[in-house]
Every structure is written in C-alpha cells, then in structure tokens.
C-alpha cells in the first residue's frame, strides 16, 4: 500500500476534516491520504461531543487507513494513535505526554490532543478508517475559555516557543506508519504495553453513566481488547468498552 501522507490536502479552514473525508468517496478509498487544516468550524470529538478548536494555527488532520486487521483489533487504533502522537511530541519537542483512556493526550495533566476514529466499510466489507487528530499547537492561556483553563493546554504554552506544524505532522505520520505495521504483524501486546507506560490507570476512580443508572468504580487494568476492567463499588467486575465515563481523579 502507499505510504501515509503520499497525498496531503491542505485547507485554510473546514468544518471538520473527518466529516470532509467521510463525505468524499475518492478520499475515503485512498489509503494514506491526509487532509489537514489549522482551523475547524465544526470539529467533533468522541460520542458526538464538540471538539473546541482554539484560535491561531493548530494541527487538525485526518488520515485515511485501510488496515489489514481483524475486526476485534480495529478498536485498538485509538490507543495506538495516542502512542504515536505522544512519542512524536516527546521526540520533537522534549515534552513528556501522558495518555488518558481512550483518546486523549495530556501534558501536565491538561489535554493537548484529542483523537477520533471513525469506521466505514468498502467493497467486500473491507475496513475504511478515518483517523482524526486534533492538537492544540498555538495559543496562550487567555485564548482558552476560562472554564477550560484547568483542563486544556497548548504546545506553545508548554514549550515556550512556536510549533512547526508541518514537521510535527510528518513525525506523527512516521510513527503511525511504524505502529500500524507492527499492529498488522500481530504486535498487540507490545503496543498496549507502550500505551500503559504512558498512562496513569490502575486505581483511578471513575463514574459510569448508563442511563438511567450511574456507578462508581475503580479501574483495575487495560485489557488486551482495549477495554477497561473496572471494579464497581458494589463489588462487581465490569468491562467498559465504550460509553460515558468520567474520571474523578
């Protein structure tokens, strides 16, 4: 297959790079194609939430993937993407990111990157994955809404200097190429170990919301499927694959 980034479509602004790719069959059928923009007017996060795009030049992009993976492994792509972003940030900028299940990259406990994986099927049910990554590259504390200043940060704020977004995009694509190849070769355990090494996971308190019920619990571990094993306060063990999950510490 063609390498990731063989075609890069650069836009000055768009509603959402993921939406654009999902709505354009010629993009969706082109493994390795990348759509990138510094600004989005309708960015989306996980579970339909709005992804807040700060003013200034950010790194917001989507990569089309046609992974040669069994269906049960596709759910790991969000975790793998987090590893790739974190490794690229550390290598390029010297920061030490932390990963938060399932799709956030943090620096100093504050979110700097969000990841959204969306799946479609093409001919013969072949998987078509759109991997969306949004990184807050530029902006000061004043650019962040007051109610979010304790939970969001930017790379420029953390490093004290402007960010070369083109170079950072190239570094992330290199990591993705490497990690996706390893995943296709069956290196699930080593990739998940890499994720665990960047995550503060075991022992964290969480609130599960499954309408109309809410449950408190304590995270035990990340399972090979990418799900979280959680001990509810009732004593029951629960596997959390997706849905509403609030971190309490």
pLDDT digits (tens, 9 = 90+) for 180-237: 999 999 999 999 999 999 998 989 999 988 756 888 999 999 999 999 999 999 999 9
Is residue 131 scored above 60 in pLDDT?
Answer: yes
* Eight-state DSSP code of residue 95: -
% the chain with pLDDT above 70: 92
Residue from 125, 2, 128, 116 nearest 60 by CA: 116
CATH number for the domain formed by residue range(s) 8-197 = 3.30.930.10
Query: What's the pLDDT score for residue 91?
Result: 98
How many Cα neighbours within 13 Å face the side chain of 52? 14
Query: Which residues, other chains included, contact 175 with Cβ-Cβ below 8 Å and sequence gap of 6+?
Result: 83, 84, 85, 87, 88
pTM: 0.92
Neighbours of 86 (CB within 10 A): 27
Comma-separated ranges of CATH 3.30.930.10 domains in the chain = 8-197
How do residues 29-85 score in pLDDT, each as one tens digit? Answer: 999 999 999 998 866 555 445 556 676 789 999 999 999 999 889 999 999 999 999
Q: What is the gyration radius of the CA atoms in the chain, in angstroms?
A: 18
- pLDDT, position 49: 55
Main-chain phi, psi angles of 166, to 5 degrees: -65, -45
Which segments of the chain belong to CATH 2.30.30.100? Answer: 205-247
What pLDDT was estimated at residue 43? 60
For domain 205-247, give the CATH number: 2.30.30.100
Which residues have C-beta within 8 Å of that of residue 111, sequence separation ≥ 6?
Answer: 100, 104, 105, 136, 151, 152, 153
């Amino acid at each position: 297959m063609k390498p990731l980034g063989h075609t890069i479509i650069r836009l000055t602004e768009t509603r959402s790079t993921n939406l654009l790719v999902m709505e354009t069959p010629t993009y969706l059928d082109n493994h390795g194609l990348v759509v990138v923009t510094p600004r989005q007017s309708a960015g989306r996060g996980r579970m339909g939430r709005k992804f807040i795009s700060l003013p200034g030049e950010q790194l917001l992009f989507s990569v089309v993937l046609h992974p040669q993976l069994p269906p049960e492994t596709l759910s790991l792509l969000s975790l793998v993407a987090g590893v790739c972003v974190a490794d690229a940030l550390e290598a390029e900028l010297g920061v030490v990111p932390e990963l938060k299940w399932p799709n956030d990259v943090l620096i100093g406990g504050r979110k700097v990157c969000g990841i959204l994986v969306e799946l479609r099927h093409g001919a013969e049910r072949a998987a078509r994955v759109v991997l969306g990554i949004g990184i807050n590259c530029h902006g000061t504390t004043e650019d962040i809404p007051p109610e979010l200043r304790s939970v969001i940060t930017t790379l420029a704020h953390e490093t004290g200097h402007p960010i070369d977004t083109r170079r950072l995009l190239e570094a992330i694509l290199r990591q993705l190429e490497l990690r996706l190849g390893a995943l296709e070769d069956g290196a699930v355990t080593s990739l998940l170990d890499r994720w665990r090494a960047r995550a503060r996971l075991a022992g964290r308190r969480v609130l599960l919301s499954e309408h109309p019920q809410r449950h408190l619990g304590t995270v035990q571990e990340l399972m090979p499927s990418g799900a979280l094993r959680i001990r509810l306060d009732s004593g029951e063990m629960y596997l959390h694959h997706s849905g509403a999950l609030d971190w309490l510490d």
